[in-house]
Amino acid sequence: MSSSSSTLPRVLINGESCDSLVISDRGLAYGHGLFETIRLCQGRPVLWGQHMERLQKGCERLGIDVPKHFGSELMKEVWRLCERDTEGVIKIIVTAGSGGRGYAAPQVTDSQRIVMLFPLPEYPTDRAEGVNVITCNYRLPLNSQLAGMKHLNRLDQVLARAEWQDPDIAEGIVCDSNDKVVEGTMSNLFAVKEGVLLTPSLERSGVKGIMRDFILQSADAMGLESREVSFTVAEFKQADELFLTNSVIGLWPIKQWDEQRYYKSVTTDIFQARIQRLLNEGV
């Protein structure tokens, strides 16, 4: 990544160099908003179109009005922010804007858009070969109206992530209130069992990650059978291979889940290679 001494701002709010919002913003008061976390690789935002599609659909679901040329405006702002950088993490936040006191939203929201650029996290390099994960005690609520979206209400993830401090633990796997596995605190989970790709159903809880979609689409292109399942931890632990995905980390194989060991194999290697090609192409 280029030097952080760049004269360009690292935060843009509604296209302006700024680092503050009005105190009555509904994103702050009620979590009324959404966000996207996008990998900047070789100077390009990876899977940009897919991120924008999810963001715009989420705005529709939450009743947040956005300008007609919303996506193109965000793209211009990303290019301004990242003009001198080749690697990093772009975070986009869209809030419903200021609506005064009370839960009732105004008929037309004054949406706010925030674009930020962060350095790429420095994860241990050996995580590409396998990571340790634990099962979290915290349970995610079931709510089909919010399921799939990357909304601003992240207290569930904050509470789950607070369960461990050991740096050797890379991620925590979280279940719903019915004890069905949903996802990691920051990632989606995949398993391979007898040649079939499995991932938790996210119809009632969790985030449908962009990299998760990429894996499922890749499996379809490969002719690999995939299924969305409602499995317990014990059922997932019977897998032959396990791995985690998100837009920043790409793919991390799981080498140990609680006390059970796993070994990276052919299917995980294939998906890892596909993600690496994606990052190299930056599309």
CA angle, residues 278, 271, 133, in degrees to nearest 5: 115
Rounded Cα distance, 135 and 137, in Å = 7
> Does 36 participate in catalysis according to the annotation?
no
Q: How many other CB atoms are there within 10 angstroms of residue 183's CB atom?
A: 28
Kindly report each contact of residues 258-267 with a partner whose C-beta sits within 8 Å and lies 24 or more positions away, as own/partner: 258/133, 258/134, 258/135, 262/130, 264/129, 264/130, 265/192, 265/240, 265/241, 267/192, 267/195, 267/197, 267/224, 267/241
Encoding tokens for residue 48?
């940009």
What CA–CA distance (Å, rounded) separates 63 from 102?
16
Q: Which of 171, 183, 267, 268 is catalytic?
A: 183
Contact status, residue 159 vs residue 138, Cβ threshold 8 Å:
yes
Q: Which of 36, 37, 185, 245 is catalytic?
A: 37
3-class secondary-structure state, position 213: helix
Active site residue 185: no
User: Length of the chain, please?
Assistant: 283
List, edge to edge, every strand of the sheet that includes 16-17. 16-17, 11-13, 112-118, 88-95, 33-41, 44-45
Q: Is 150 a catalytic residue?
A: yes
Of 95, 150, 245, 255, the catalytic one is 150
Partnered with residue 245 across adjacent β-strands are 188, 251
Please give the distance of CA 211 from its chain centroid, rounded to a whole number: 8
Residues classed as catalytic: 37, 150, 183
